[in-house]
Structure 1
């Protein structure tokens, strides 16, 4: 991070704090000396995700639905807004709830930050770029999004969240930043959440064929969760408004990722191809020059190491589940 930009936080609200990413953000903040109020309605998050800090005196869990007005008594130095169904299984099952979370939920999180005159971070997504016509994606690219396709409930709710955050910054002088997250993965993802990495790993460990939609030539950049969280917190502590891409600049074909997971899980089942999903982006890879220049941030965990850690976690969790059964 550029000199002189680091902000100190004593008490932070993390919406969606019991979710995959949110739980790691809570954990990192608590263990660095920050008091955290974790706000979650547990519709997609899990209390087990915050087991590591649940009994810590600097951690407080508040069960709340952010589509309703959000109240947090006491001082708040920053609001980190991560609440939103992020997996296809969740947002396709509840499209209206997803859009309510992206609109009303973001409004209420912004109102909380405004009331406390606190720092605000929006966790947005690379999905705002849609099926990009520019490669790699830079923050000044407006995207290529189908507003009425099946993925639009997630894509457009995040685009609205970015517009609303920008409006609060302009009209009220809110100290707000926007992070665009590219395909974060790691332990604590739900095996059934429908995203690529947990699906591949679940299938590989079960000895089932690993399913790739389309020809597998479509690309993704994958960023291990610890790197994503470090980028988010660094941006939150900075004075950089963004948007800022947070992701790995390494691009991998989906078929190659599937084969790597197959090897790491020790599966002998084949990789099989099914019909491509509607509006599935053909290429996805961030330009992270802004993050590198303004935040001094870049990913550190390699894809192979990140996948190995994630496979080990899923395998251990599966063994524990079978043992308990």
Structure 2
């Protein structure tokens, strides 16, 4: 039986990846320190014969007993609310955490896939974004802690591949959504859906003309699965190229929820990207992958998940306790 380590296993994407690899017949070792992950995301895996969990911070030395065939490094804050509160930890998990896991991959002779994101493109001057675009990033802006963590991740991963011959893969993840997202983590889909379910006004930052492209989690997981098992060693965009403006998307949410919500406008955060659309030509060519779930279908599934939350969860604002991590 193949053995795979998934870091960030209690996160949104990490937990879905654990499910997928268990279903594919792998023995999955999940690792998380719960700084932004949630135990309820992996509660259904407790006691499963092909799943074991290790609570650990990957910015510290990482060891796993026994053989390892693959590593998926998905440990990182991914929400602006989170990485602006814990900027140093965000940089550390991208730098020290990645370094530790690359070292583990070498020791175990395992193939490692690194989760990068579309943030490496910053506020792009090229549209749609292709893998050979170098990006437009403000290194000293507030978002730089996340953007540069991901860019460094890619650089050190390729250095290990070139210098040590390590088997590496890099996925550039574009906006992904679906069940198990945190309701109030600051990202547009859970923010809009939470506001709609609570009967609040939907908040748009900026004038709403900025665009995003949303990929359903099942499609994202399929792309990551194919990339890990492929022979391609350079970054690959995985996302849905179906682009929509934030203003039009807010109107879609209002229609979906059937709520009588209004839209209000606030100032756009510093360096918030104005356009996000992946060019997935490379993924089609080397992975035979493209998204299958359209936004209407995926949003209906996601809305049902949020509707199923308790009233306490629905009205609870995210106040993660980062006191043990601040500036460490």
TM range (shorter): over 0.9
Secondary structure (helix, strand or coil) at the match of 1:52 reads helix
Match of 2:283 in 1: 291
| d(CA) in 2 for partners of 1:216, 1:118 | 44
Q: Report 1:129-208 matches (<5 A).
A: 129-208=121-200
1:11 aligned onto 2:7: no
Deviation at 1:321, TM superposition (A): 5.2
| d(CA) in 1 for partners of 2:221, 2:243 | 20
Deviations along 1:45-96, whole A, 9 cap, x unmatched? 1111012322210000000000001000101000000000000111001000
| d(CA) in 1 for partners of 2:303, 2:10 | 21
Report how many residues are paired.
314
Match of 1:57 in 2: 49
TM-score normalised per structure 2:
0.94
| d(CA) in 2 for partners of 1:137, 1:128 | 10
| Structure 1 contact 27–52 (Cα < 8 Å) conserved | no
1:100 aligned onto 2:92: yes
| d(CA) in 2 for partners of 1:202, 1:192 | 7
| d(CA) in 1 for partners of 2:67, 2:31 | 15
Match of 1:3 in 2: none
TM-score normalised per structure 1:
0.95
Secondary structure (helix, strand or coil) at the match of 1:120 reads strand
Match of 1:232 in 2: 224
| d(CA) in 2 for partners of 1:146, 1:318 | 40
Match of 1:123 in 2: 115
1:212 aligned onto 2:217: no
| d(CA) in 2 for partners of 1:118, 1:90 | 30
Deviation at 1:192, TM superposition (A): 1.7
| d(CA) in 1 for partners of 2:307, 2:234 | 38
| d(CA) in 1 for partners of 2:43, 2:251 | 33
| d(CA) in 2 for partners of 1:28, 1:199 | 27
| Structure 1 contact 122–178 (Cα < 8 Å) conserved | yes
Q: Report 1:235-246 matches (<5 A).
A: 235-246=227-238
| d(CA) in 2 for partners of 1:175, 1:113 | 9
Secondary structure (helix, strand or coil) at the match of 1:229 reads helix
1:85 aligned onto 2:73: no
1:33 to 17, 25, 29: 25
Deviation at 1:264, TM superposition (A): 1.3
| d(CA) in 2 for partners of 1:302, 1:67 | 37
Deviations along 1:259-294, whole A, 9 cap, x unmatched? 111111221020111111110111110100110010
Change (3 A) 1:240 1:47: same
Deviations along 1:124-153, whole A, 9 cap, x unmatched? 000000011111100000000000111000
| d(CA) in 2 for partners of 1:109, 1:264 | 42
Match of 1:6 in 2: none
| Structure 1 contact 205–266 (Cα < 8 Å) conserved | no
Q: What root-mean-square deviation, in Å, do the aligned CA atoms of Structure 1 and Structure 2 show?
A: 1.1
| d(CA) in 1 for partners of 2:115, 2:168 | 11
Alignment gaps of 5+ in structure 2: 315-328
| d(CA) in 1 for partners of 2:42, 2:20 | 11
